[in-house]
């Protein structure tokens, strides 16, 4: 039915089967859209936020998708600026994942501001003393970069590419992609960093506050570093999931091993910095503000030392080691364990830096604020996942996302 | 925000924030203008070769 749109030589499932899958995921998407409209039309009273706890669940989702979407800027930087040509086999998919993550982040922010019709105020009535203004500027511009990086892949659709103007446009955009990739890396450095910087400058929150360099707290650099380190792991994880669902090999082992190796070294070096930062905070910063480490991890029903151990050791140090060692990196099972742990690790880090910060009591009369999100928050947090699955499914079906697909599956077929 | 808006102030904050914003928007705008313009030029002068090729 839609075979004229499918990349030449590629095999895809039957159109009715595809549509059934889309309908199932689409139902979840509609549930999220319904919750989103409830928040827009009835207001933020649909959430469980209050004056004491002002971060909804979706703020964690926002920071998490921005972090795991960091694979796009970092892979683009390696491919176009550092000229690591091997990554051409995965760059299209990294861009699509980044596009999904950043469009989701902007959607979440549109829900969070409660009155999206006034979203443009941040550009027109900008508070030039806020790191979040910088985040909004860079996030919007970087989404434009990702859209520009995604366009050539769309224009390479079998039918669109027959239109001469689109064919030339895709060709020309490929020619200057290094400029867009460099701009994207510049923007990502600042917005990833400023999201961490926001936590680090909150001197009224001893759990978050950090020393730093000039106006930038250490969390600024740690957030950028972690996005570059863990983002490629999410790219590898989604690639693995897509391969499992389609039953095809889509990216060659050489590319996978290379990206995993780079991610492994980035994670390991990041973890060294993160451990030093945590030790200094626990032994110097927090005590100087009148708090001991145990204050942040005891006397409540949820946040214990387990979260610190899980984030730093289990989901940080362990995947780093698994990915830098050749034997475990090239073993599909241990590599999969490593990239799953790494993805959980960066999401856990953002959880701690957003939600635990708000939960920890600061004043002597405060109590732990263990937040239970409303179903509307849960639905709007799941919404981007459903949207991402649908966009990946459509892109995989109609666009030449994986340049090695035909070659890898032809050789597999011949081996049978 | 632009310098002719009543809220504008000639200070370091506005210079850094909006300088950075316009710089990024300028690069993206110029890049896309070049690509679209060159694509239009190439289409007009197209000799029919090169379609369907891989980049």
Determine the distance in angstroms separating the CA of B4 from the nearest CA of chain A, rounded to an integer.
12
Burial class (CB in 10 A: 0-12, 13-18, 19+), A270: buried
pLDDT at residue A374 greater than cutoff 50: yes
A88 contact B CB<8A: no
Contact A183 B39 (CB under 8 A): no
pLDDT at residue A336 greater than cutoff 60: yes
Q: Give tens-digit pLDDT for A135-164.
A: 899 999 999 999 999 999 999 999 999 999
Cβ pair A71, A96 in contact under 8 A? no
Q: What is the pLDDT of residue B54?
A: 46
Mean pLDDT score of chain A, rounded to an integer? 93
Using CA atoms, how far apart are residues A124 and A3, in angstroms rounded to an integer? Answer: 47
pLDDT at residue B53 greater than cutoff 60: no
- pLDDT above 70 covers what percent of chain A? 99
Four-point Cα dihedral A7, A255, A146, A193, nearest 10: 160
Q: How far is CA A119 from CA A43, A67, A106, B49, in A?
A: 15, 22, 10, 46
Using CA atoms, how far apart are residues A59 and A377, in angstroms rounded to an integer? Answer: 10
pLDDT at residue A60 greater than cutoff 60: yes
Residue ranges and CATH numbers for the domains of chain A are 15-403 (1.20.1630.10)
Q: What is the pLDDT of residue A181?
A: 94
A134 contact B CB<8A: yes
pLDDT at residue A122 greater than cutoff 80: yes
pLDDT at residue A319 greater than cutoff 90: yes
The count of other CB atoms within 10 Å of the CB of residue A115 is 11
Over residues A238-257, mean pLDDT: 96
DSSP H or E stretch at residue A106: helix A91-112
Contact B55 A156 (CB under 8 A): yes
Q: Give tens-digit pLDDT for B27-52.
A: 999 999 999 999 999 999 986 655 54
Q: Give tens-digit pLDDT for A16-52.
A: 999 999 999 999 999 999 999 999 999 889 998 888 8
- Write out chain A residues lying below 8 Å of B29, CB-based: none
What ipTM was reported for this prediction? Answer: 0.86
Contact B24 A141 (CB under 8 A): yes
The count of other CB atoms within 10 Å of the CB of residue A17 is 10
Determine the distance in angstroms separating the CA of A55 from the nearest CA of chain B, rounded to an integer.
26
Q: What is the pLDDT of residue B55?
A: 45
Q: What is the pLDDT of residue A413?
A: 60
Contact A164 B27 (CB under 8 A): no
Using CA atoms, how far apart are residues B18 and A136, in angstroms rounded to an integer? Answer: 12
Q: What is the pLDDT of residue A416?
A: 55
Q: pTM here?
A: 0.93
DSSP annotation string for A299-336 = SSSS--HHHHHIIIIIIIIHHHHHHHSHHHHSSHHHHH
B33 contact A CB<8A: no
Q: Give tens-digit pLDDT for A292-315.
A: 999 999 999 999 999 999 999 999
Out of A125, A176, A183, closest to residue B7 by CB: A125
Using CA atoms, how far apart are residues A7 and A267, in angstroms rounded to an integer? Answer: 36
Over residues A109-119, mean pLDDT: 88
* A127 alpha carbon, distance to own chain's centre: 26
Please tell me which residue of chain A has the smallest CA distance to B12.
A128
Determine the distance in angstroms separating the CA of A190 from the nearest CA of chain B, rounded to an integer.
11
Q: Give tens-digit pLDDT for A66-97.
A: 999 999 999 999 999 999 999 999 999 999 99
Over residues A359-388, mean pLDDT: 93
Using CA atoms, how far apart are residues A49 and A34, in angstroms rounded to an integer? Answer: 19
């Amino acid at each position: 039915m839609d075979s004229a749109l499918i990349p030449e030589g590629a095999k895809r499932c039957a159109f009715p089967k595809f549509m059934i899958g889309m309908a199932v995921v689409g139902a979840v998407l509609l549930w999220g859209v319904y919750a989103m409209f409830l928040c827009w039309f009835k207001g933020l009273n649909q959430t469980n936020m209050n004056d004491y706890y002002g971060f909804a669940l979706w703020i964690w989702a926002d920071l998490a998708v921005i972090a795991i979407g960091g694979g796009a800027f970092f892979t683009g930087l390696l491919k176009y600026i550092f000229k690591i040509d091997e990554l051409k086999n995965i760059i299209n998919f990294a861009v699509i994942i980044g596009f999904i993550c950043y469009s989701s982040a902007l959607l979440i922010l549109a829900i969070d501001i409660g009155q999206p019709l006034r979203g443009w105020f941040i550009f027109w009535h900008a508070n030039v003393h806020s790191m979040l203004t910088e985040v909004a500027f860079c996030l919007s511009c970087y989404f434009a970069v990702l859209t520009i990086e995604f366009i050539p892949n769309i224009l390479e659709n079998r039918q669109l590419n027959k239109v001469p103007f689109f064919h030339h446009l895709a060709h020309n955009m490929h020619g200057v992609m290094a400029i867009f990739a460099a701009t994207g890396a510049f923007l990502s450095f600042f917005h990833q960093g400023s999201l961490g910087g926001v936590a680090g400058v909150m001197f009224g929150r001893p759990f978050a506050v950090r020393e730093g360099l000039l106006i930038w707290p250490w969390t600024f650099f740690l957030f950028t570093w972690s996005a570059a380190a863990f983002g490629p792991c999410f790219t590898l994880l989604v690639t693995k999931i897509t391969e499992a669902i389609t039953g095809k090999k889509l990216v060659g082992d050489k590319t996978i091993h290379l990206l995993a190796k780079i991610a492994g070294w980035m994670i390991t070096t990041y973890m060294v910095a993160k451990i030093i930062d945590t030790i200094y905070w626990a032994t110097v910063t927090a005590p100087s503000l009148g708090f001991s480490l145990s204050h942040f991890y005891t006397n409540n029903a949820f946040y214990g030392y387990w979260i610190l151990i899980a984030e730093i050791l289990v989901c940080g140090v362990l995947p780093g080691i698994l990915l830098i060692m050749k034997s475990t990196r090239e073993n599909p099972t241990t590599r999969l364990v490593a990239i799953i742990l790494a993805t959980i690790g960066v999401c856990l880090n953002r959880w701690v830096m957003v939600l635990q910060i708000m939960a920890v009591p600061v004043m002597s009369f405060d109590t732990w604020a263990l937040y239970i999100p409303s179903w509307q928050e849960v639905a709007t947090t799941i919404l981007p996942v459903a949207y991402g699955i649908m966009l990946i499914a459509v892109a995989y079906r109609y666009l030449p996302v994986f340049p090695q697909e035909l070659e890898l599956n032809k050789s597999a077929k011949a081996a049978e | 925000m632009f310098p002719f808006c009543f809220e504008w102030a000639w200070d370091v904050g506005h210079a850094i924030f909006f300088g950075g914003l316009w710089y990024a928007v300028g690069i993206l705008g110029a890049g896309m203008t070049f690509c679209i313009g060159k694509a239009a030029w190439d289409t007009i002068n197209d000799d029919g070769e090169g379609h369907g090729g891989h980049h």
